[in-house]
Amino acid sequence: MGKDRLAAFSDGVIAILITIMVLELKVPSGADWAALQGLAPSLLAYVLSFVYLAIYWNNHHHLLQTVVHVNGLILWANSHLLFWLSLVPAATAWMGQNLSAPLPTAVYGAALLMPAIGYYLLQLAIIRKQGAQSVLAKALGSDIKGKISPVLYAIGIVLAFVSPWVSIAIYALVAIMWLVPDRRIENAISRE
Amino acid sequence: MGKDRLAAFSDGVIAILITIMVLELKVPSGADWAALQGLAPSLLAYVLSFVYLAIYWNNHHHLLQTVVHVNGLILWANSHLLFWLSLVPAATAWMGQNLSAPLPTAVYGAALLMPAIGYYLLQLAIIRKQGAQSVLAKALGSDIKGKISPVLYAIGIVLAFVSPWVSIAIYALVAIMWLVPDRRIENAISRE
Amino acid sequence: MGKDRLAAFSDGVIAILITIMVLELKVPSGADWAALQGLAPSLLAYVLSFVYLAIYWNNHHHLLQTVVHVNGLILWANSHLLFWLSLVPAATAWMGQNLSAPLPTAVYGAALLMPAIGYYLLQLAIIRKQGAQSVLAKALGSDIKGKISPVLYAIGIVLAFVSPWVSIAIYALVAIMWLVPDRRIENAISRE
Amino acid sequence: MGKDRLAAFSDGVIAILITIMVLELKVPSGADWAALQGLAPSLLAYVLSFVYLAIYWNNHHHLLQTVVHVNGLILWANSHLLFWLSLVPAATAWMGQNLSAPLPTAVYGAALLMPAIGYYLLQLAIIRKQGAQSVLAKALGSDIKGKISPVLYAIGIVLAFVSPWVSIAIYALVAIMWLVPDRRIENAISRE
């Protein structure tokens, strides 16, 4: 089985998720600055989640480039990742409507942690099919970013109950860390 | 007529359905644990339907691999399947908001039964075009899973008026039964 | 410019429209038969519109098969068609929530009439590029279905103010008339 | 990295945005002419935004034709453009529900200005990769339309606080100016 339809389906789901989040930007009921200001927290949460989903799309794009054939395990690891990504819009809306409230901030962190785990498992599934000498295994190397991110999310979740803004700063920091596109895979492919 | 646009259109519809269900996860109005707990039944229904739609996408994917050319009958059998799948989000939301109520549980069972029938008819339409010696006909063989599933859904529908949780357990059981990817088609293709 | 991206974009829009309509099937607030029955008019309107959009997707699919290169006029005629199709969900919801009310039934008829005109203009734009000897021009021939449909919609719009159910019957009749896939184009292509 | 998946993802996002706007056309609660008339301002705003998104899709389509390989900068410039486009539906809904109110009209202008800047930056990113002798650089030439549009949007934003209808007229004027497809790129490609 080829990977094209898997890539197309994943792109479709991520494209829909990224745009469906916009529906949670409830149009303010007034027409003045106060109404617009009331939208600011939701907009902030939206920007952060938009960046996260764009990063996932981007890295998922690179990840699938290392794949030639897809097996059942990869298919389900991919669906598992998409499942957790699909909960991001709801978590974004909840945090946006209750910005700096402890529990919504912690839940948002969990909504970032779970896809990170899903992405890690998807990498494992791909490497397992390709074998230890796989392009992807070489490309990932020690994979510091991939290992440090879940730790930072977990810290953010715990800190949300102490100081929610620090958690949000951590979530933003991890996003910035990933904004640099992952050149490891590109390099590993060109080295082949 | 080729099958590519049919596959792309079906993928698009299923990708949208799977993500649109998320919109029914109404963001809780409070910011505490009670608000989050109120979401639990909807989340449970969402997980079950996500798995079902992922299974349909996965098996539909395999099914179309056996197809080279598409005729009018296949086109309409496919649209018929998509119609019933399109009712899954509404049934999911209703069951989620009234978890363990008899009628919504029965309606959810019907929302699983109808696509199963639609999928069966789509298989018939494909086999009819390919002839009795078709790859698909050989791959399906006696098709025990395909024949037992509608029976289990029907039992679930009836039992919903007696014990809704047993029905939900049956729906979950059928999902688990299908989670194993359908290797019959893959095997039949490689035997050719 | 090739036609592939045009086809993909149109498919995407139609796939989203067909599934977005489902969001108008507002989940009933109760959990009993009365709540379910209240959904029946919306479901009826949904079925009709689902069939219409599936027909448009199907025929649009055939139509683009006759096209090799796309010019600006075809691009805009296609966008014009998609615009009118995009109003179908809103018209469907309004008719479904006020089934057999005169004005919503007439507006629904207008929501069917306008895409029919848009489709006709798209055909003209394609024929104009291909010239009078075009595959499409030959395939369409006298195009009785294409000419009679707008007339029937117009009759339905007027009759809505007298007897809305007759209008709905007419809309359903036109749908059935189109359910037969358009073999003219397939035949014209094979004759080449 | 090829451009195909980038084009497909962008098409997906724009297709979803264009159809999601329809969800803001809230179905009127009555069934009479008054209910329908109440929808008119939203419909007007919808038409304008539909045309804008169709123009962006169309020109984006042409723009990517000049691209062979995509680098990280182009990828992010494209995501940046999509981000601003994703805010168009919310701005459209707000203006539609408060037609001719100053602030929503100004915000709508900003929602047009930002994607225009994003599109400009995307062009820069593509030219930077292709070098000064690039097809795109030649095609754009002095790019009068691209330079005058942001100025007109800015004028519209300021005028919204004086005379909102003049602003809306300006927004419509810019749309009409762009409705003519951009032949510069087509011509530059054929000259090669």
Give chains near C: 3+ CB pairs under 8 A.
B, D
pLDDT of B106 over the 90 cut: yes
Beta carbons of C113 and C69 less than 8 angstroms apart: no
Give me the pLDDT at residue C109, please: 97
C-alpha to C-alpha distance for B144 and A43, rounded to whole angstroms: 51
Hunting for tokens 């029937």 — which residue is that? C152
In this predicted structure, the answer to whether residue D184 has a pLDDT above a threshold of 90 is no
Instruction: Tokens for C162, please give them.
Output: 């007298």
Summary mean pLDDT of chain B: 88
pLDDT of residue B146: 85
> Lowest mean pLDDT: which of B78-87, B176-185, C109-118, C168-177?
B176-185
Whole-number pLDDT of residue B72: 81
- Look up the pTM and report it: 0.89
Longest alpha-carbon distance in chain C: 61
Q: What is the pLDDT of residue C158?
A: 97
Please tell me which residue of chain A has the smallest CA distance to D91.
Answer: A27
Determine whether the interchain pair C186/B104 forms a contact, defined as Cβ–Cβ distance below 8 Å.
no
Those residues of chain C whose CB sits closer than 8 Å to some CB in chain B are 7-8, 11-12, 14-16, 18-20, 22-23, 25, 27-28, 31-33, 36, 47, 50, 54, 57-58, 61-62, 65, 179-181, 183, 186
Mean of the pLDDT values across residues B167-181?
89
Spans in chain C with pLDDT lower than 50: none
Residue B38 Cα, gap to closest chain A Cα (Å): 13
- Binding partners of A (≥3 Cβ pairs within 8 A): B, D
pLDDT band at B186 (very low <50, low <70, confident <90, very high): low
Show the DSSP H helices in chain C as ranges: 4-20, 33-37, 40-65, 72-86, 88-97, 102-130, 135-140, 144-159, 164-179, 183-191
Closest CA to C168 of C52, C1, C27, C17: C52
**pLDDT of amino acid D1:** 60
Measured between CA atoms, the residue of chain C closest to residue D61 is C5
Higher pLDDT, A118 or C147: A118
User: Taking an 8 Å Cβ-Cβ cutoff, which residues of chain B contact chain C?
Assistant: 1, 5, 8-9, 12-13, 16-17, 20, 23-24, 72, 75-76, 79, 82-83, 86-87, 89-90, 93-94, 97-98, 101-104, 107
Give pLDDT, residue B49. Answer: 97
CB contact under 8 A, D76 and A181: yes
* Percent of chain D whose predicted confidence (pLDDT) is above 90: 57
| Residue C162 distance to chain B (closest CA, Å) | 32
Residues A53-98 pLDDT 10s: 999 998 898 888 888 888 888 988 999 999 999 999 999 999 999 9
**Closest residue to C22, CB basis, from B20, B72, B79:** B20
Q: Are the C-beta atoms of A80 and A50 separated by less than 8 Å?
A: no
Nearest CA to C75 out of C177, C3, C140, C147 is that of: C3
pLDDT of C142 reads 67
Using a CB-CB cut-off of 8 Å, the residues of chain D touching C12 are 11-12, 15-16
**E strand intervals along chain B:** none
3-state secondary structure of B187: helix
Least confidently predicted of B59-63, B101-105, C93-97: B59-63
- D72, closest residue in chain A (CA to CA): A181
Structure tokens given for C104: 């919503």
Q: What is the mean pLDDT of chain A?
A: 88
Residue B65: list chain A partners with CB under 8 A: 1
Confidence of residue A5 (pLDDT cuts 50, 70, 90): confident
At residue D27, what is the residue type?
Answer: V
Using one digit for the tens of pLDDT, what is the confidence trace for D112-143? 999 999 999 999 999 888 876 677 777 776 67
pLDDT of residue A142: 67
At A130 the pLDDT is: 81
User: In the predicted model, what is the mean pLDDT of residues A42-50?
Assistant: 96
The region of weakest confidence among B38-42, C71-75, D100-104, D112-116 is: C71-75
Q: Render the burial of A44-61: b for 16+ CB within 10 Å, e for the rest.
A: bbbebbbbbbbbbbbbbb
Alpha-carbon distance C61 to C8, whole Å? 10
* C-alpha to C-alpha distance for A145 and A151, rounded to whole angstroms: 10
B15 → chain A, closest CA residue: A13
Task: Write the residue in A79, A89, A101 that is nearest to B31 by C-beta.
Answer: A101
| Average confidence (pLDDT) over B173-178 | 92
What per-residue confidence (pLDDT) applies to A3?
82
**For residue D26, what pLDDT is reported?**
84
User: CA angle at residue B62 from B57 to B63, to 5 degrees?
Assistant: 95
Per-residue pLDDT, B191? 62
